[in-house]
Structure 1
Amino acid sequence: MTPEEVGQRLVALLAPVAATTSVSGGQGYARATVDVPPASWGDALRAARDDAELRLDFFDWLSAVDELADGFDVVAHLWSTAGRHGVLLRTRVPRDAPSVASVVDVYPGAAWHERETYEMFGISFAGHGELRPLLLPPEFEGHPLRKEFVLASRVAKPWPGAKEPGESEAGGGRRPIRPPGVPAPGEWGSTPTPAGAAGVGEGPRGGTPARPARERPPRPAPGAAPARPAPGEPVAGAEPAAGEGNA
């Protein structure tokens, strides 16, 4: 079934409930998306599972989206192992009293997901019966995935990157750090690195100048034999023997 056919079939099964269908993006991974009222949440998932054409027998995941003043969207993704098609089911609950029916009796695998959504967003699932803490310690207060939740790390220490408006008034970025063994810019060149331009380890004046190049004898012309040194004359480029040159 195509995503359009999946969405239309589920809307027809829920009639006369005011359900709407659309198709998500993703090209080959597009999904039928069906929005239902909160009162029809459990019926929608049960119809998707039990219908002979849809056969959405696999519960994939459930989570929520904070829509601020508009409330919360509860989203579930179902998949058909036989038909190889899926559907995104959504319902919107109010922010002041976010609650929707649990679907553990339809898909037992939803128990873990509902507990996490309750913990992170504060959305209650009526009929679950065991919405105890799952990821956070019992003494934790608040719901971390709500958009108004203030991260404690931002209060204790300003974010140095200031990537988001209002995160930090200091601005600026972090000092670049080179991988181990990589020389500072200019360390192997002829121009010292300006002070503070690179990372740590160059000293107060930055990088060091390059070593002076060793002088080499000129190459002979093509086809010419190299000149042989006279008897007793030192060979060019050879190191002096011990004791020589100190007389």
Structure 2
Amino acid sequence: MRAAVEDRYGERATVSDSFGQTTVDIGPADWLDLLRFARDGLGCVYFDWLTGVDDPPESITVVAHLFDPVEHVHLLARTKVSRADPRLPSVTGVYRGADWHERETFEMFGVVFEGHPHLVPLLLPDGFEGHPLRKDFVLAARVAKPWPGAKEPGESGHGAPSRRRVLPPGVPADWGKPAAPGEASDG
């Protein structure tokens, strides 16, 4: 598999093998072609999953796992898109099973899959704003109501008196505090 990918893409792809799985890192321009080649040329007819990985400050990595059930080989395809304008061509025309995976990745990370037949929210309630799996997404619910269990030092209220209460990761230090007279409130 590795040789076939290297022959086809040359310097445009970085190929590595780890734990019996071939990983291909490719540019967004070759994303659709790589997945089509994996299906038609490499025998990876089983689409397992697709998701995103936030990699601030510059990019989001989109990852797809494919499998060849005859040869029992795995292929992990990865590409990076800009966080500022994350766009990729949809692979639903190659793997129908990519449909809801692309919808979820669109909703949770903000990656737009161009050509997707129905790119609408899948999991979150109507009117939800933001992309909750991006690392800069503020988990406001952790401040608005008590979190079940002691997740951070001082959150349980039952800890040692010497422990101070801290905000959960990702919550700005001034979030939720009442504004001083004459100041605008953002919480």
TM-score, normalised to structure 2, is: 0.78
Unmatched 5+ residue regions in structure 1? 1-5, 177-247
Note the alpha carbon deviations across 1:30-54, whole angstroms, 9 max, x for none: 3111000000000000111111xx2
Matched, 1:76 2:64: yes
Note the alpha carbon deviations across 1:178-220, whole angstroms, 9 max, x for none: xxxxxxxxxxxxxxxxxxxxxxxxxxxxxxxxxxxxxxxxxxx
Deviation at 1:138, TM superposition (A): 1.6
Matched, 1:7 2:6: no
Q: Name the Cα RMSD after superposition.
A: 2.0
* Bigger Rg, which one: 1
Structure 2 letter corresponding to 1:114: E
Q: Structure 1 108/162 Cα, relative in aligned 2: closer, same or farther at 3 Å?
A: closer
Q: Structure 1 158/78 Cα, relative in aligned 2: closer, same or farther at 3 Å?
A: same
Task: Tell which has more relative contact order, 1 or 2 (C-alpha 8 A, sep 6+).
Answer: 2
Q: Structure 1 173/71 Cα, relative in aligned 2: closer, same or farther at 3 Å?
A: same
The runs of 4+ residues in structure 1 deviating greater than 3 Å are: 157-160, 172-176
Structure 2 letter corresponding to 1:50: D
Matches within 5 A, 1:3-152: 6-15=1-10, 18-24=12-18, 27=19, 30-51=20-41, 54-152=42-140
Deviation at 1:173, TM superposition (A): 4.7
The corresponding residue for 1:161 is 150
Unmatched 5+ residue regions in structure 2? 160-187
Structure 2 letter corresponding to 1:13: R
Note the alpha carbon deviations across 1:209-234, whole angstroms, 9 max, x for none: xxxxxxxxxxxxxxxxxxxxxxxxxx
Q: Share of identical aligned residues, percent?
A: 49
The aligned length equals: 158
SS in structure 2 opposite 1:125? strand
